[in-house]
Amino acid sequence: MRRALTFQCEGSACAATVDSAAGATGLLIVSGGNEVRTGAHDGMARIAARIAAAGAPVWRFDRRGVGDSEGANRGYAGSGPDIAAAAAAFRAACPGIRRLVGFGNCDAATALALFGKPAGLDALLLANPWAVETPDDLPPPAAIRRHYRHRLRAPGAWRDLVVGRVAFGRLARGLIRAARPPRTNALAD
């Protein structure tokens, strides 16, 4: 049975739909981009109905500022509170849930990778996660360090340095980035 309801996220009412089932594992569907909870061409609603018919309850929601939900749209990068509030509301609405799995496509998959664990999700299904781009044209610090370790052993690199065939601005930016401590969030690099 499908029910429409709302839950609160940081003072905003968010729209949600639950497809009820008796199973102890629930599926939390996070929509990508500015897509509403029904999904493109009603795809997520159809998936939810099939999964619920197989015995697992399914929760779909519109994050703040999208679809029928109030508030400002903060994009996938600001959706951590929305995912956490949706997970808590799902558990409250379906108290028989013992295990909660998050499913997302594209930037919703990336949002789940970033915020799923803090939201209390037990497992994630990530389809086509969106790769987070760095704000400049430099590779991650580990790649820069590996490159310079190799180049420092190459005689041609020293010759290029002496005769001025080195882009000193890029070299300086690379060395600054390489000196950064490793990040705990692998998606940020």
Residue 133 pLDDT class (50, 70, 90 cuts): low
| 172 — pLDDT class (breaks 50, 70, 90) | confident
Quote the CA–CA distance of 19 and 26 in Å, as a whole number. 10
Please indicate whether residue 10 or residue 143 has the higher confidence score (pLDDT).
Answer: 10
User: What's the DSSP call for residue 103?
Assistant: E
pLDDT at residue 78, rounded to an integer: 94
The residue among 1 and 19 whose pLDDT is bigger is 19
Condensed to tens digits (0 to 9), the pLDDT of residues 38-93 reads 887 789 999 999 999 999 999 999 999 999 999 999 999 999 999 999 999 999 99
* CA atoms of 14 and 7, how far apart (whole Å): 5
Asked whether the CA dihedral 70, 119, 110, 47 is positive or negative, the reply is: negative
The answer, yes or no, to whether residue 134 has pLDDT greater than 60, is no
- Over the Cα atoms of the chain, what is R_g? 22
Average pLDDT, the chain: 87
> CB-based contacts of 98: which residues, under 8 Å, 6+ apart?
24, 25
pLDDT > 70? residue 15? yes
> How much is the pTM?
0.71
In the predicted structure, residue 144 carries a pLDDT above the cut 90: no
CB-based contact 20:58 (threshold 8 Å): no
Say what percent of the chain tops pLDDT 70: 92
Is residue 32 within 8 A of residue 41, CB to CB? The reply is no
pLDDT of residue 64: 96
The set of residues, in sequence order, having a beta carbon less than 8 Å from that of 29 and lying 6+ positions away, is 37, 39, 44, 47, 48, 58, 59, 60, 103, 104
